Amino acid sequence: MCASVARSIPEINERIKRGDVVVLTAEEFKKEVREGATDILREVDVVTTATCGLMSGTAAIFSLEVAQRGEFERVLRAWFNGVPAFPGPCPNERLGVLDAIVFGTAHSEADEKYGGGHLFQDLVAGKAVEVEFEARTTSGGKARFRRTATLEEFNFARLFTTRSAFRNYMCFVNPSAETVRTIFSVSGLRGPFVEASVCGCGELNPLENDPEMRVIRVGSRILVNAATGFVVGEGTRSTPERRNISVVADMKGMDAEFMGGFVTSAGTECITSIAVPIPVLDDAILECLKVLDDAINMPIAEIQRRTEIGESDYGCVWQGTSLEIIHEKEKCIRHEECVVERFCPTRAFERSSGLNRERCFNCGFCVFACEGGAFKGELGSVFVAGRKVPITLRLSNRAKARKLCILLKKRIEEGEFLL
């Protein structure tokens, strides 16, 4: 009979400092589970988990010196690259400082395909952004001000989420004949039961591996877009069956690769990535970590009322499917207007230059939109209402989540990240 697992976080941290900690990514751990190597798993100290996807509840708080003291009384309205911001909560009266909140789902007033998610990524990538604001002058009038700034010039730039990393997120289908504009589609969700849209990284998701939130809790150190951050608590709409978390991190340590904007048929959305180390403290945690895609329930809902009409599992999404989309340039048909170029949600494709792998989210929209079959990728399907419905859009990027798991594992093994 195997001995029980019994470790503490201080003990694991000491192993990290000594350099003899045993860390597996969630993918490596699940591989061992599938191969039946259960004894080996008892030696594991930490499993790194991650998710990358559209997270509407993402926002950022900024503070930036924008003028000389006394130049204006207070900011009334503000924009970053045309994206509306909410000045405050501090009025910073006569200090020449702008405090503002920007929603990840807000879109530019000049470009409907540019939003808060794009802005956050541009800032982290080191690009200068245009800051425009309207202020009340000391004489009681109003005036407009403009300046450019990079992230390094911000006194404060912190990203937070109101809800993120949902476990058991829904798959959406449209039972009606009318195409529906929704954030869960790129060009409109077609029906009846023509296509399905899915979200969630399945067995890599942190909360699938700690469903009771025994180790993911207030104060847990995590990665947010590859920067060290913390769990604030459970997020809005979190339930015992479908938990999610609220997190926070400084934007100045983030990596632009793991974030960005995503244009849907109902507006711009925000891509956010979260990685969480799960310490293997006892047998109960070890058992939770053994969960596999096929055992993770994925509710299926109709898009209009968001009510459940069936269920599937994440094995349909991630087992036997393609993590990355392939572009075969020679198969491109030279239409006057390319549907993929027009609608690609991350602007990753241009006929002149091909597929930009750094921008590609592997959502799969192009696979079904391209008439010439120039894009390849198996996305899977679900059964609902007695029909087999193909998955045509993935709002989570498991390839990026896998990369984050590897990144976090490396940082732990090199002693750069303590639990």
Which tokens belong to 361?
């989210």
Q: How many beta carbons lie within 10 A of that of residue 320, not counting itself?
A: 9
Burial class from Cβ neighbours inside 10 Å (0-12, 13-18, 19+) for residue 10 reads exposed
Flag whether 122 is in a domain.
Answer: yes
Flag whether 331 is in a domain.
Answer: no
Flag whether 106 is in a domain.
Answer: yes
CA–CA gap between residue 228 and residue 220 (Å, rounded): 10
Contact 234, 167 (CB under 8 A): no
Consecutive sets of 10 residues in the chain, 419 residues long: mean pLDDT of each? 84 98 98 91 96 98 96 96 97 96 96 97 98 94 96 98 94 97 97 97 98 97 98 96 96 98 97 98 96 97 96 97 94 83 94 90 95 93 96 98 98 98
- Please tell me the predicted confidence (pLDDT) of residue 273: 98
Q: How many beta carbons lie within 10 A of that of residue 14, not counting itself?
A: 13
Angle between helix 26-34 and helix 398-413 axes, rounded to 10 deg: 100
Flag whether 202 is in a domain.
Answer: no
- Please tell me the predicted confidence (pLDDT) of residue 80: 98
- Please tell me the predicted confidence (pLDDT) of residue 396: 98
Q: How many beta carbons lie within 10 A of that of residue 192, not counting itself?
A: 14
Flag whether 141 is in a domain.
Answer: yes
CA–CA gap between residue 270 and residue 263 (Å, rounded): 9
Structural domains of the chain, count: 1
CA–CA gap between residue 148 and residue 128 (Å, rounded): 6
CA–CA gap between residue 187 and residue 343 (Å, rounded): 7
Place of tokens 């339930």: 239
Instruction: Output the pTM of the full model.
Output: 0.96
| Of the candidates 310, 91, 271, the residue with the CA atom closest to the CA atom of residue 183 | 271
Distances (CA, A) of 402 to 261, 323, 410, 413: 20, 10, 13, 17
Flag whether 92 is in a domain.
Answer: yes
CA–CA gap between residue 272 and residue 288 (Å, rounded): 25
CA–CA gap between residue 213 and residue 220 (Å, rounded): 11
Q: Which residue range is the domain that position 152 belongs to? A: 58-159
CA–CA gap between residue 402 and residue 325 (Å, rounded): 15
- Please tell me the predicted confidence (pLDDT) of residue 3: 73
- Please tell me the predicted confidence (pLDDT) of residue 61: 98
- Please tell me the predicted confidence (pLDDT) of residue 337: 83
- Please tell me the predicted confidence (pLDDT) of residue 2: 64
- Please tell me the predicted confidence (pLDDT) of residue 360: 96
CA–CA gap between residue 203 and residue 402 (Å, rounded): 11
Flag whether 366 is in a domain.
Answer: no
Does residue 278 sit in helix, strand or coil?
Answer: strand
Flag whether 234 is in a domain.
Answer: no
CA–CA gap between residue 274 and residue 292 (Å, rounded): 19
Contact 66, 94 (CB under 8 A): no
CA–CA gap between residue 81 and residue 83 (Å, rounded): 6
DSSP element (H, E) containing 333: none
- Please tell me the predicted confidence (pLDDT) of residue 279: 98
